[in-house]
Structure 1
C-alpha cells in the first residue's frame, strides 16, 4: 500500500473526478470504462490497468502522469473555508480537490523558480485579545512593506510580492472548456509555517471590496491560526484581523465616529476599499460605535437595499504571480508544456494561474507599471481629513 505521501492511482482518480465535477456515470459515458471498475479502483479494491487510466486521461484532457504524481502536502482536514452554511458537501469536496491541486502546483512552481517564502508573522498564544489582533495586523503591514496608516491600493500584489501566492478558484466544467463558480464559498487558505509555501484561494466576485476582505480574512487565518489550529472563534478573529489590516486602528479611531452618516461611510469606502458594512464593524471594534449606533446603521443599510449591493464601486484585483512564474519556467504560452511537467489538466492550470490579458486587464489593473494599483471610484467629496494618498511601491 502507498504511504500518505505517495501517489495512489485510485485516490488520484477520485481527485480527478472531484476536480472536474464528474460522477462515475459521467466518466463511464465519456470513456466506456465501467462504473464498477472506477469504484473498485478508487477504493483500492483492485489495481488499475494503465490502458484504462490512459482512456480516462485522454477523455478528460489530463496528462497520464496525474495518476502517479505525489499529491499535495496539504492536510485537507486542516483547511479553513470561509463559506455559507448552505454550501453543499459535494461542492466543498470539489473545492478541496481544486485547492489541493492548486497548492501542489504552487509548491512546485515557486520552488522551481526559487521564489522566496513569505515572512509573515504568527502567534502561538492560546487566547487573543482585540489588542493582540491589532498588533499582529500592524506587524503584517510591516511584513508586506505597507505604510502603517494608509490604504492598501492593491492587496493581491502586496501579498504576492511578500511570497503569499493568490489563486482564483474557478471550477472547470467536465469538458474543461467553460467554468463555473459558486456564491456559497468565499475563500480558503493554508500555510505550513516558517519557510513553507502559503496559498490563498478565493472566489472572484463582482465586488472588489468583498474580494479584498476575503483575502485579508484568509491572511488572518495564516497569521492567527497556523500555530493555533484549535482557536475557539477562528472566523471572528480572522474578520477582526481583516478589518485591522485594511484600516489601521489609528485611522479608524479618527475617521469613524458615532456621528458619521452613511454618506460618510461611502466616502470612506472609496478611500479604503472596504465595504460600508465592514467599516461599521471596524468602528465598533475600535470602540467608537456603541451597540445601539451599530444596529441603527445596519437598519439604515437594509432600508436602502445596500445589504447585497452597496454604492461606490471598488475595482477588482487580479493575481499575477503564478502566471509570471509559469512564463518564466515554461515560456510565453505555458499551459500545454507546464501541464505535462506539472501533471495537471491545462484548463485547471488556466484557472489556477489565469492569463493577465483576461484577468488583470479586464479587472482594471494597470499593466506594465510597478504601481499596479486598483483605482477606487471616488465620489466628488472627500472623506474626513481628505483621502490618504496611495502607497508607492
Structure 2
C-alpha cells in the first residue's frame, strides 16, 4: 500500500519511515485571511511542518550559527513592541535607524531560513497558488531553530512586510502563548512596521499632512507599501482615525488596493540552497538522494530552494537608489487625491 501511495504522489518511502519533528501545535503562526478554510489551514500547517523539519535538520548538519533574538514576556504595549523591534535590529546586526536593505538575507545571516511555500495536489504536483495565506512562521522552542515561509511573492513590499510580520511572531510569541490569535496578529503588524520603518525615522518622514505622492517616494526608499506606511502613521499617532480611513479610501478608489504604484522587486532567499549544496553537492534539491534522505516529496523540496538570479530587494548595495530613480519617472502617475474614507489594517 505504501509503495502504491509513493508511486501515485511522488513521495519517497522514507517519508513514512522517519519520525517527524516534535513541533508543538501552538508554535506555528499564520498570516492569513479570515476566509481561509479549515482544510486549507490544515494543509498549510502540514506543509510548513515538513519544511521546518528539513530546515532544522540542515541547520544542525551544516553547523549554521543562529543569532539570539530578543524574546517578549508578559503584557506588551506599543512602546514595548517598538523597543523589541529596535533590539531585533541589534540582534540582526542592522543599525536602528537605517533602511532594511534586504530583509530576507538579513534573516538568513541570522540563521533563520526564509522559504517560498507551495502546496501539492493529490498527484504530488505543485498548485499555482495558495488562497487566503500570506505567510507562516514556526519554532520548536526558544533555543531551537525557527522558520519563516511566505506565499506568493508577486510584490516585494508585500513579501517584506510578511517576512517582518512573521519575524515579529518569533520575537513576540514563543513565551506568550496565552494571548489571543487576534492580539498576536495586531502585535505582529505593529512589530513589522516598527522593524521596517524605525520610529524616529517615521516621525521625520511622515510628518502630517502628507499626500499619496509622498508615500510613493517613501515606498521606493523603505521598500514598504503605501498602505503599510499609512498604518505606521496611525500606530504612531501621526494621523488620526478619520485621516487613516480617508487615505485608504483614496487608494481603493484608484484601484491601488492590490496594485500600488512604484515597483519593489521581491527578494530572493539563498540560505536553503546554500545548505542543500553543502550537504548534497551541486545537485542539491534536485537530487533524489536529498529527497530520500530528508523524506520529502521532490517537487516540494525543490520549491523550498528557488533558482538564483531573479531581481530582488528594494535598494540593494549594487543599486542603492534604483527605485528612487524609477519613482522620478513615475511621479505623474502618483497624483494628489482628495480625502475620502476607508478602513484597513493591511500592511
Query: Please, which runs of 5 or more residues in structure 1 have no aligned partner?
Result: 1-51, 384-393
Asked if structure 2 preserves the Cα contact closer than 8 Å seen for 1:169 and 1:201, the reply is yes
Superposition TM-score, scaled by structure 1 size: 0.78
Which structure 2 residue ranges, 5 or more long, are not aligned?
A: 332-347
Find out whether 1:203 has 2:151 as its counterpart: yes
What is the rounded CA distance, in whole Å, between the counterparts of 1:311 and 1:337 in structure 2? 45
1:198-232 per-position Cα deviation (integer Å, ceiling 9, x unaligned): 10111023111011100000110110111011224
SS of 1:123's equivalent?
coil
Q: In structure 2, how many angstroms separate the alpha carbons of the residues matched to 1:276 and 1:224?
A: 25
Q: Deviations over 1:283-341 (max 9, x none)?
A: 11122112222222122222222112111111101211011100111011123221111
Q: Which runs of 4+ in 1 moved over 4 A?
A: 369-375
Q: In the alignment, is residue 301 of structure 1 matched against residue 251 of structure 2?
A: yes
Q: Which residue of 1 aligns with 2:54?
A: 105
Distance 1:382 1:55 in 2: 56
> CA separation in 1, counterparts of 2:267 and 2:240?
33
Q: Does the alignment pair 1:275 with 2:192? A: no
Preserved CA contact (<8 Å) 1:149 1:251: yes
Whole-Å Cα distance in 2 between the matches of residues 166 and 285 of structure 1?
Answer: 27
Whole-angstrom distance in 2 between the partners of 1:150 and 1:327: 32
Q: TM-score, normalised by structure 2?
A: 0.88
Match of 2:205 in 1: 255
Change (3 A) 1:62 1:370: farther
Q: For the aligned residues, what is the CA RMSD?
A: 2.3
Aligned length, in residue pairs: 325
Match for residue 31 of structure 2 among 82, 96, 112: 82
Deviation, 1:58, is: 2.6
Find the partner of 2:114 among 152, 166, 171.
Answer: 166
Larger radius of gyration: 1
CA contact (8 A) 1:154 1:373 kept: no
Conserved 8 A contact 1:365-1:374: no
Q: 1:373 to 1:82 in 2, by over 3 A?
A: farther
1:374 deviates by: 10
Q: Which one scores higher on RCO, CA 8 angstroms, separation ≥ 6? A: 2
8 Å contact kept, 2:215–2:229: yes
Corresponding residue for residue 240 of structure 2: 290
Write out aligned runs for 1:59-98 (5 A): 59-98=8-47
